[in-house]
Amino acid sequence: MWLWGGCMSKIGANKRDKIKEEILRFLYDEYPAFHFTNKISYELARNNEFVLGLMKEMVKNELVSFMKDKGGRGERVKWKLKEEVYQKYKELV
């Protein structure tokens, strides 16, 4: 009998880029608001840890900015599209 081992399949670079585009589109539509990772994950129907990894990549690429929010749940991160990226994206749309 085969049981699900809980391992996830690896997502290719093209698919990761498409998901990043979806994240950028969500942040563009919601600009200038900051959003928690779980809100972005919920909107894209993706795992929180997966989205967090993509967000960190986009910070390195200078596409998004973040702020730390200290509340009742401890320290959490909120994300927002950078102003320069918003303006460039706005020109394209």
pLDDT per residue, tens digit, the chain (93 aa), is 444 445 556 778 899 999 999 999 999 999 999 999 999 999 999 999 999 999 999 999 999 999 988 877 778 899 999 999 999 988 987
CB 27 within 8 A of CB 58: no
Which CATH number does the domain housing residue 19 bear? 1.10.10.10
Domain range spanning residue 24? 13-92
Domain assignment of residue 4, yes or no: no
Hey, is 17 helix, strand or coil? helix
pLDDT value, residue 70: 82
pLDDT value, residue 72: 75
Domain assignment of residue 44, yes or no: yes
Domain assignment of residue 8, yes or no: no
Domain assignment of residue 3, yes or no: no
- The CB-based long-range contact list for 75-79 (8 Å cut-off, 24+ gap) reads 76/36, 76/37, 77/36, 77/37, 77/52, 78/34, 78/35, 78/36, 79/27, 79/34, 79/35, 79/36, 79/37, 79/40, 79/55
